[in-house]
Structure 1
Amino acid sequence: MKPHLEAAPAAGPEWVRSSYSGANGNCVEVASLPDGSRLLRDSKRPHSPVIAFRAGLFDTFVRSVTTGGFAAR
C-alpha cells in the first residue's frame, strides 16, 4: 500500500529534523506516533499536509530512498 497524505493530528506530534539536514533549508522532519506510525513533512511548510506511513512502512521507504529506489529515470 502506498503512503497517503493527511493533515497532522491536532494534538501536535513532536517533530524531529533529519540529521542529514544542512543550513540550506532543505529539511525534512519526522514524527513518531504512539501506534508506531510515522509522519513526514517539509520543515519549510510545517502547516501543509504531511505524508503518513503505517507502522513499519517508514523504514521500507527510507531503505528505498537510500538505495536509489526512487531515482529519476
Structure 2
Amino acid sequence: MADVDLSGAVWRKSSHSMQNGECVEVAAVAKGQVAVRDSKNPHGPALLVSAADWANFISQIKSGVLGR
C-alpha cells in the first residue's frame, strides 16, 4: 500500500484494553484503510490494512474463531 499521511489520524483503543501498556490503537484513514499501531510507540510504524480485512479480523475475534 502507498504511504498514507497519519498526522491527522484519530487514534483509539478498545475500552477492554488493559492498563499494562500492551495495547494497539486503530484509526480509520483515507481510501478505506485502517491503521494499527503499538500504543507504547505512537510515533513508530503503523500497519495499514483494508477496512474490510479489519472488519473480518474483528468479527473472527468476537466469534471465537481466533483464540482469546
Q: Same fold (TM over 0.5)?
A: yes
Over the matched positions of the two proteins, sequence identity in percent amounts to: 34
For structure 1, the 5+ residue unaligned runs are none
Match of 2:45 in 1: 49
Would the aligned equivalents of 2:36 and 2:48 in 1 still touch at CA under 8 Å? Answer: yes
For structure 2, the 5+ residue unaligned runs are none
Deviation at 1:67, TM superposition (A): 5.0
Match of 1:16 in 2: 12
Q: How many residues align?
A: 67
- TM-score, with length taken from structure 1: 0.68
Find the aligned partners of 2:7 and 2:23 in 1 and give their Cα distance. Answer: 23
Deviation at 1:13, TM superposition (A): 0.6
> Which secondary structure state, in structure 1, belongs to the residue aligned with residue 9 of structure 2?
coil
Q: Give the RMSD, CA atoms, in angstroms.
A: 2.5
Find the aligned partners of 1:24 and 1:7 in 2 and give their Cα distance. Answer: 31
Greater helix content: 2
Find the aligned partners of 1:29 and 1:10 in 2 and give their Cα distance. Answer: 13
Match of 1:61 in 2: 57
Higher normalized contact order (CA 8 Å, seq sep 6+, divided by chain length): 1
2:43 maps to a residue whose letter is H
